[in-house]
Chains A and B, each alone.
Chain A
Amino acid sequence: MNERIAAAIVKARFFIIGVFAIALGLAVMYAPSFKINASADTLLVKNNELYIKTQVANQTFAPEEFILLAYEPTAHALYSQQTFTDIQALSEQVESLSRVKSVTSILNIPLVTDASSLQGTTDVDSLTWEAQQYSASQMKERIDGHPIFTDLLVNRESTATAIQIVFQQNETLSKLESQITDLQRKRLDGTITEADEQTIIQLKAQADPIRQKLTKQRAQEIAQIEEIAESVNERANTYLGGSYVVGQHLIDIIKSDLTVFGGAIAGVIALMLAVLYRSVKWVVFPLIACASSVVLTMGLLSFLDMRATVLSANFIALQIILTLAVMIHLIGSYRSHSHADNASGQHDRVRATLGEKLSPCFYATLTTSVGFGSLLFSGLQPVADFGLMMLYAMIITMLVSLLLFPSLLSLLPVTKESGESKLLKALLGWFRRISLRSPGMLAAACIGIFAVAAIGIMRLDVENSFINYFDKQTQVYQELAFIDQQFGGSTPMDIILDVGETNDSGMLVLEAESVAQLQLVQAAVEAFEATGSVTSVVNFTELAKQLNDGKPLTEYELTSIYRLLDDKVVDQLVGAYFSPVDDKLRIAVRIQDTTAGLDRETFLTNLKSDLGKVGINEGNYALTSLFVLYQDILSRLISSQVITLGIVYGALFIVLLAVFRRFGVALIAMIPNILTTLGILGVIGWLGIPLDIMTITIAAIAMGIAVDDTIHFVHAYLRGAKQGDGSSQADTGSRYAFGHTAVAMSFTTLIIVAGFSLFGLSDFLPSVYFGLLTAGAMFMAWFSDVTLLPAMLNMLYRRKTA
């Protein structure tokens, strides 16, 4: 069967090459439009209740898009003429950017000092530095400890001030978004119809190009603001922060990782191929195959409009490595056939290679696909998307390495092949002898080692924070951390309180009891170390109380102020926190992601119980926004991990059973792989690396790749065993398996480990973890495949014959 397919491939070589050439041509057309979408959104599970609630809350309170530019004087006092001059200059320059709607700084905020200003008789707008030119000491007096602006425009220690740059909403986009949200809302009560779903898809298609343009514009704006900030760098440190800045840094880092590491890995691979095979042919051909796979995949993905996200940013490197792994087995087999029969022609060699390796290579890529495919069942949209992307990539890799590569190879003239590395052969020979002599001991030792590693699983913890994705040494981290620590945190979390109808026959805008309830909630939230800036209507009532000589307002006075103040001022002060139409109050919280020892899950549990303690019923509030959405994903990670691993184990067992058609052998083939996945999870636990949406994919991927080696090894062992009989089966089988198959396995492992290790140099910690842990997993897989696997196979064959 295999031989016939092999012959057919060799025969149809020109046709195959032609088809691939056309496909490549098409792919080259599409590949340049391949898109990266690294917005925080891509890491979220959409269409679930929490996400829709967040969208609805955003619609109600319309929080504005802003970034913070912090200014920390190095030699002069914060409240000084120099600062004011700089802030004014910076504000003016920033304001000239086209999309900037307004710039808020300590210079243009109204600094109200007595209660009468709140009663509509004074023009509040005139109480600013810009209008009054307050002195440095007056500014200090008015701003220090201000209930509204502390943590937002000035830090608690009064060493730095921030400019809040507010951007204009794109009218069309927000209209589209609110239409989408209105339809999505129906999902919450289950009244959504098929037509609605269609409309949503249409609306999303309309919104997409606008969003793309916006992303580009944001990147430019950030660069421009950074440039503007440089003008004061002689006197002050400047820091840029805010959720869009984080997003932009992520895009930058992913783009550079894609190209830098894609390129670096290709380079390292070329070098290693050259060293291992000492032949130009075995450098050029695999690289051509790898490049074809990547280009075809990129073309296909951009045709399907699938975008790389933070999660799938490494797919190029991943695919190069996976394509190569298949080809090294083919090359190993080809070389072995060339060594065995020097006189054979090129077509015979290719046919023999394919005859031997077609089925293990096919099954190996199939199992890798199964590993990625299992991610589709993770229940986490971003992870599932990544799984689907890699599934396509694997299918292309399979086609390229099993069709294109041999077709190209058969065009080559016959040459003499160089010999294999002696050192490697000696090492493998040693493993072979031990596994034959004392298989039980070896197996026990192996399982012992993995068991110790696997204990680390108990220590697995889930945690997630964007800031911690960046290396602490990088400027990006330092800027984000400064904003995080000094200006009220990074990841937003909203608490939406339902205050219900006011019962005083509509007399009041807001009742005292509602404010009291809000205050209690706010105090409970502020009590947490990890909460940075916490803002709501309470900050305003606190200010009013301060201005009222420390006496609380009455609810009627509050209503009067609300009605007397200019609508614009009201909107500025409380618009984002109070929706009189829906009777909803919003507390905007930012979580300080750099808080030492922050356990987000415990934080949320405590927060929920504290909300109960201050008298809020569970039905009367909703927690929304990014922080909660991430946490929701994290809370599902462990179960998701269990499900994906379960599916991987199950599916692989079926594949192994199909390949080897013997229950015992399939079971033995499973064991090293199960140990590898548990072992790598254990290592993650031991190292204290938090399980997050990035690291969760490692175990399934590792399993998918590692099982390739197992299949090749067992396949070769069984082939060898057939040649012996009785008690010699174990010996011939293991001799055959430890021949070129084990060498090829070692090569692929070496190349994969070297390639993935390169990610250790990234500034992006998820890439670092991903690279090093996958490398670790590959090493473990190789180790168990050349020790435990032969030991168990030997035991099986000895028992059978005994």
Chain B
Amino acid sequence: MSLGKYCGTACFLFTLILSGCASPPESSPATAQQSQTSSERPSDAEALSQGQTVQVETSQGTISVEPTVVGITDEAATPSSTPGDTSYYDPLEGFNRAMFGFNHYFYTYFFIPVTDGYRVVVPDVARDKIGNAFDNLREPLNLLSHTFSGDLDKAGINLGRFVINSTIGLLGLFDPATHWFSLAQSEKTIAQTLRDYDVGSGAYIVLPVLGPSDVRGTFSTVTEGFLHPTQFIMDAPDRYYLRMFEGVDDFESQSQRYEKLYEEASDPYLYFRNQHIQGQLRDAMFDTNKASGNNLNE
């Protein structure tokens, strides 16, 4: 996700305040063996929906089932939590709801009309190329995150992609790295790196304009804002315009999705919050070294 630096500063404060907050420990993939009846044991379906691989003895031998859809909540991740609605760790709900309301207002009356206009003015193909260019600008950040995660292979790929696409790919407008050199895109954020070091996501936070995030994500976004290549190659107002443009380009593909889901949800705040938290918990549980470019939840 991209960043508007103005809000970044504000969020940075939150990060400092909240990073000390305990965040629920996260579970890792495990295999639930069919153990004989302990009444406390969750059912196989529950275990499966919590992301565990389940094995069951049937008349045809042992069948092993891997989850395809999971519903991992903070409650499940912290079984000892107190009663009440503890499924989703959201101590800042009051603030978040307010911010969510503001965002919705902002999207409806400003951002969506702007992106709609952008979509009309800029043709498909061009938008595609612009997206490529912004992706390319991120490569150094990916490289950094991969390096800190110790994933040097991926870091090498990021380096290769950046060099190839910035040169042959005409400043990243084209993606010859993927098409000619078979170097597939491999994104990695600081938040993902932190997760690799078992840093929890912390409380849920709705960021101004940027929307659903959490303490870790906010920290990641702010830090990436400072480290973004534009910081070093462009001057003050210009680089903000560029980042805003990136924001518009980014949001363009999501505005329709946002509107539709907002309309259909009974409580849109909860819907987007739960989707975000479940996505984070799922990502924590399942292989994080893979590219998260296709991550569905953001």
Chain A residues close to B by CB (< 8 Å) = 114-116, 118-121, 505-507, 510-517, 519-520, 523-524, 527-529, 538, 541-542, 544-545, 547-558, 560-561, 563-564, 606, 609-610, 613-615
Q: Which residues 247-298 in B have Cβ within 8 Å of A in the complex?
A: 253, 256-257, 260-261, 264-267, 270-271, 274-275, 278-279, 282-283, 286-287, 290-292, 294-297
Segment among B62-70, B140-148, B226-234 that sits at the interface with chain A: B62-70
Question: Is A560 a contact of B275 with CB atoms below 8 Å?
Answer: yes
Which among B63, B257, B274, B287 has the highest number of chain A CB atoms within 10 Å? B63
A556 B294 Cβ-Cβ under 8 A: no
Complex interface: chain B residues within 8 A of A548 (CB): 294-296
**A511 contacts B275, CB within 8 Å?**
no
Besides the contacts A507-B266, A609-B59, A613-B58, what 6 more A-B pairs have beta carbons closer than 8 Å?
A510-B69, A513-B49, A519-B48, A523-B63, A552-B282, A564-B260
Top-8 shortest CB links A-B: A512-B71, A556-B275, A516-B48, A527-B60, A512-B49, A554-B278, A541-B68, A606-B59
Other-chain residue from B60, B64, B261, B290 in contact with A606 (beta carbon distance below 8 A): B60
Could you say which of A115, A606, A609 contacts B296, with CB atoms under 8 Å apart? Answer: A115
Are B286 and A552 in contact (CB-based, < 8 A)?
Answer: yes
| Complex Cα spacing A550 to B283, Å | 11
Which residue in chain A gives the minimum CB-CB distance to B64?
A523
> In the complex, are the beta carbons of B68 and A553 less than 8 A apart?
yes
A515 CB contacts on chain B under 8 angstroms: 49, 68-69
Instruction: Encode contact with A along B66-85: 1 for CB under 8 Å, 0 otherwise.
Output: 11111110000000000000
- Report the Cα distance A551→B29, complex, angstroms: 12
Chain B residue nearest in CB terms to A614: B56
20 contacts between A and B (CB under 8 A): A506-B266, A510-B69, A513-B45, A513-B48, A515-B68, A523-B56, A527-B63, A528-B60, A545-B69, A549-B292, A551-B282, A551-B283, A551-B287, A554-B70, A564-B257, A564-B261, A613-B57, A614-B44, A614-B45, A615-B45
The answer to whether B56 touches A513 (Cβ under 8 A) is no
Name the residue among A116, A515, A547 with the largest chain B CB count within 10 angstroms: A515
Known A513-B49, A556-B278, A560-B296: A545·B257 in contact at CB below 8 Å = no
Given contacts A541-B68, A548-B294, A563-B264, contact A507 B46 (CB under 8 A): no
B51 within 8 A of A: yes
Contacting residues, chain B, for A557 (C-beta < 8 A): 275, 278-279, 296-297
Counting CB contacts under 8 A, is B54 at the interface? yes
List chain B residues, Cβ under 8 A from A527.
Answer: 58, 60-61, 63
Say yes or no: A520 contacts B56, CB within 8 Å. Answer: yes
Residues of chain B with a CB closer than 8 A to A517's CB: 45
Complex: how many Å from CA A524 to CA B69?
18
- Identify whether the interface residues of A are mostly helix, strand, loop, or mixed: helix
Q: How far is the CB of A122 from chain B (nearest CB, A)?
A: 10
Q: Which residues 196-222 in B have Cβ within 8 Å of A in the complex? A: none
Residues of A within 8 A of B261 (CB): 560, 563-564
Tell me, rounded to whole Å, the shortest Cβ–Cβ distance linking A583 to chain B: 15
Q: Does B31 contact A (CB under 8 A)?
A: no
The reply to whether B65 and A523 form a contact with Cβ atoms under 8 Å apart is yes
In the assembly, what is the distance between CA of A523 and CA of B68, in Å? 12
Contact of A507 among B64, B70, B265, B287 (CB under 8 A): B265
**List of A residues within 8 angstroms of B72 by Cβ:** 554
Interface size range of chain B in the complex: 35 or more
CB-defined contacts of A606 to chain B, threshold 8 Å: 58-60
Q: Which residue of B lies closest to A607 (CB)?
A: B59
Contact status B69-A541, CB under 8 Å: yes
Minimum CB–CB distance for B252 against chain A, Å: 10
Q: Which chain A residues lie closer than 8 Å to B67 at the CB level?
A: 512, 516, 519, 552
In the complex, which residues of chain B have a beta carbon less than 8 angstroms from the beta carbon of A513?
45-46, 48-49, 71
The CA of A614 and the CA of B62, in the complex, are separated in Å by 11
Q: How far is the CB of B184 from chain A (nearest CB, A)?
A: 11
Other-chain contact of A554, B48, B57, B279, B292 (Cβ < 8 Å): B279
Q: Is the CB of A556 within 8 A of B274?
A: yes
Residue of chain A at shortest CB distance from B59: A606
State whether A116 and B71 are in contact (beta carbons under 8 Å apart), knowing that A505-B266, A555-B278 are contacts in the complex. Answer: no
Q: Is the CB of B63 within 8 A of A519?
A: no
Q: Which of B44, B49, B68 has the most CB of A within 10 A?
A: B68
B43 within 8 A of A: yes
Chain A residues within an 8 Å CB radius of B69: 510, 512, 515-516, 541, 545, 552-555, 558
Chain B residues with Cβ under 8 A from A613's Cβ?
56-58
Query: Which A residues lie within 8 Å of B46 (CB)?
Result: 513, 516
**List of B residues within 8 angstroms of A524 by Cβ:** 56, 58, 60, 63
Bound CA–CA A614/B59 (angstroms): 11
Q: Distance in Å from the Cβ of B269 to the closest Cβ of chain A? A: 11
Is there contact, CB below 8 Å, between B68 and A538? Answer: yes
C-alpha gap A118/B295 in the complex (Å): 12
Segment 70-122 of B: residues with Cβ below 8 Å from A: 70-72
The smallest C-beta distance from A507 to any residue of chain B, in angstroms, reads: 6
> Does B71 lie within 8 Å of A549, measured CB to CB?
no
**CB of A584, distance to nearest CB on chain B (Å):** 16
* Residues of chain B within 8 A of A610, CB atoms compared: 58-60
Residues of A within 8 A of B278 (CB): 554-557
A527, B282: Cα distance in complex, Å: 28
Instruction: Please give the distance in Å from A596's CB to the nearest CB on chain B.
Output: 16
Contact A507 B71 (CB under 8 A): no
A519 near B65 with CB under 8 A, answer yes
Residues of A close to B294: CB separation below 8 A: 114-116, 547-549
Partner of A553, one of B45, B56, B57, B296: B296
A615 in complex: contacting residue of B44, B71, B271, B297, CB < 8 Å: B44
Q: Which residues of A contact B271 (CB under 8 A)?
A: 507, 556
Q: Which residue of B lies closest to A603 (CB)?
A: B59
Whether A520 touches B296, Cβ cut-off 8 Å, given contacts A511-B71, A552-B70, A613-B57, is: no
Q: CB within 8 A of A551: which of B56, B275, B286?
A: B286
Q: What is the CB-to-nearest-CB distance from A146 to chain B, in angstroms, rounded to a whole number?
A: 15
Q: Which of B16-66 contact A (CB under 8 A)?
A: 43-49, 51, 54, 56-61, 63-66
Residues of A within 8 A of B54 (CB): 520
B45/A516 in contact, CB under 8 A? yes
Q: In the bound complex, do residue B58 and residue A556 qualify as a contact, i.e. CB atoms below 8 Å apart?
A: no
**Chain A residues in 8 Å Cβ range of B270:** 507
- Residues from chain B with a CB closer than 8 A to the CB of A119 are 257, 296
Distance (Å) between the CB of B271 and the closest chain A CB?
6
Q: Specify which chain B residues have a CB less than 8 angstroms from the CB of A555 in the assembled complex.
A: 49, 69-71, 278
The smallest beta-carbon distance between B116 and chain A, in angstroms, is: 14
Name the CB-closest residue of B to A147. B68
B47 proximity list for chain A (CB < 8 A): 516
Q: Cα distance A515–B71 when bound, in Å?
A: 10
Interface-central residue, B46, B66, B70, B297, by most chain A CB under 10 Å: B70
How far does the Cβ of B23 sit from chain A's closest Cβ, in whole Å?
18
A residues in contact with B57, CB < 8 Å: 613
Chain A CB within 10 Å — which of B57, B264, B292 has the most?
A: B264
B67 to chain A, nearest CB (A): 5
* Docked CA distance A538–B72 (Å): 18
**Which residues of chain A have C-beta atoms less than 8 A from B256's C-beta?**
120-121
From A116, A511, A528, A538, contact of B49 by CB (8 A):
A511
Report chain B residues within 8 Å CB of A538: 68
Shortest distance from the beta carbon of B260 to any chain A beta carbon, whole Å: 6
Given contacts A119-B296, A507-B265, contact A519 B58 (CB under 8 A): no
Quick check: B253 and A121 within 8 Å, CB to CB?
Answer: yes
Distance, CA A573 to CA B54, complexed state (A): 26
Residues of chain B with a CB closer than 8 A to A120's CB: 256-257, 260
Residue in A closest to B87 when the chains form the complex, CB atoms: A504
Q: How far is the CA of A604 from the CA of B56 in the complex (A)?
A: 18
Q: Chain A residues near B264 (CB, 8 Å)?
A: 563
In whole angstroms, how far apart are the Cα atoms of A69 and B283 in the complex? 43
Q: How far is the CB of B41 from chain A (nearest CB, A)?
A: 11
Report which of B257, B279, B295 forms a contact with A556, defined as CB distance below 8 A.
B279
Min C-beta distance of B57 to chain A, whole Å:
7
Q: Does B275 contact A554, Cβ atoms closer than 8 Å? A: yes
